[in-house]
Amino acid sequence: RKEVEQDPGPFNVPEGATVAFNCTYSNSASQSFFWYRQDCRKEPKLLMSVYSSGNEDGRFTAQLNRASQYISLLIRDSKLSDSATYLCVVPPKVNTGFQKLVFGTGTRLLVSP
């Protein structure tokens, strides 16, 4: 199993829709996870951190399912500005003792009018 896997998409949704992405990971000992957002030809930017069962920030909810080893990102009431690639980020299999992360290849979201 890959350290982290994401559906590449693209997910095409209309404005106002609710959309969810999943990300599976292989390291059962992982404690912290992150979702980053990356706009076209720009750098990744931190969207949310997930340290326990989940996290909510406005229209965005991240949930962690340790039993099945996946994290999800739910976006409610999608906006045109949500169009981007969403990267799932997990700690590596080998504990390096510091913050070396493994980035998924990303899920592309396209929100249309």
Partner 1 sequence: DVKVTQSSRYLVKRTGEKVFLECVQDMDHENMFWYRQDPGLGLRLIYFSYDVKMKEKGDIPEGYSVSREKKERFSLILESASTNQTSMYLCASSLGYQPQHFGDGTRLSIL
Residue numbers of the site for partner 1 (CB under 8 A)? 32, 34, 42-46, 49, 87, 89, 96, 98-101, 103-106
Is 39 or 77 the residue whose CB approaches partner 1 more closely? 39
Pairing of strands 107-112, 11-14: parallel
Least Cβ distance, residue 19 to partner 1 (angstroms): 21
Is 70 or 103 the residue whose CB approaches partner 1 more closely? 103
* Three-state DSSP class for residue 78: coil
Amino acid at 97: G
Least Cβ distance, residue 80 to partner 1 (angstroms): 23
Is 41 or 113 the residue whose CB approaches partner 1 more closely? 41
Structure tokens at 62: 């991240």
Is 78 or 108 the residue whose CB approaches partner 1 more closely? 108
Structure tokens at 64: 């962690």
Cis peptide before 113 (omega within 30 of 0): no
Closest CA to 64 of 53, 49, 75: 53
